[in-house]
Amino acid sequence: MTYPELSKYELAQKIDHTLLKPTLTFSELERTCSEAIEYQFKTVCIPPAWVSPTNRLLKGSSVQTITVVGFPLGYSTTNSKTQEARQAIDEGANEIDMVLNVSFLKSRELKLLSTDVEAVVQACGEVPVKVILETAYLTESERQEAALLCERAGAKFIKTSTGFASGVPETGARLSDILLFRKILKPSTLIKASGGIRDTATALEFLRAGADRLGTSSGVAILKGSKAEGNY
């Protein structure tokens, strides 16, 4: 199967094959890694506790390992985030997705927020950092402010969502946010759309809008041209 803009392989290389649900089991991790290898996804995104087993399961393949830091709420201490990131990298994580401290942003503690992001970026060295803004909790002006702050702090990617926001009507990625970020960010700053991308048409819409990577647990369905059920 091919797509108008991308080959099947090219589309797969835009996907972070994601398994972050709290009830995940090792057998599900094995299946996720097997799918990632079979379909040639760019990465597998898993919780920090599963970095080492994931590396073992992906050994010999081109699929990389991503993990999350300060997930899913983002308001753990800066020190705990940096330690979590360093340990994950020591265990083989190739990219780090950290959650923005929305509480700092809402409190207008922008220096603390910038320091938080900068500390994780510095702790990660050459390993790319994606900052998850959790856009569902933010106004448009806050999204813009947060994206630019994270860019200045050294983030390689701006990411939309954890997929686990609660108490808000929309919890995942929105095309309007991708368009906003692509308009205001430097071309060298990449964008990851995550949450709610479950079919081929939606995936391509986000890529056309300017997303460079897609975080989804529905990668297989996207490549097959079907639609997955679920929330992430």
CATH label of the domain that carries residue 182: 3.20.20.70
For residue 227, what pLDDT is reported? 73
CA 180 – CA 148 distance, rounded (Å): 11
Angle of helix 110-124 versus helix 78-90 axis, rounded to 10: 20
| Residue 124 is assigned to a structural domain of this protein | yes
CA 162 – CA 204 distance, rounded (Å): 20
User: Running along the chain, 232 residues long, what does each successive block of 10 average in pLDDT?
Assistant: 76 98 97 98 98 98 98 97 98 98 98 98 98 97 98 98 91 96 98 96 96 97 81 52
Name the domain count of the chain: 1
For residue 1, what pLDDT is reported? 43
Record the tokens describing residue 130, joined without a space.
């994606």
For residue 226, what pLDDT is reported? 79
| Residue 72 is assigned to a structural domain of this protein | yes
Active site residues: 97, 159, 192
Segments of 88-186 assigned E as strands? 95-99, 129-132, 157-159
CA 84 – CA 76 distance, rounded (Å): 11
Task: Compute CA 52 distance to the chain's CA centroid, rounded to the nearest angstrom.
Answer: 19
Which residue segment(s) compose the domain that 212 sits in?
8-224
| Residue 95 is assigned to a structural domain of this protein | yes
| Residue 3 is assigned to a structural domain of this protein | no
| Residue 189 is assigned to a structural domain of this protein | yes
For residue 4, what pLDDT is reported? 65
pTM over 0.75: yes
For residue 5, what pLDDT is reported? 75
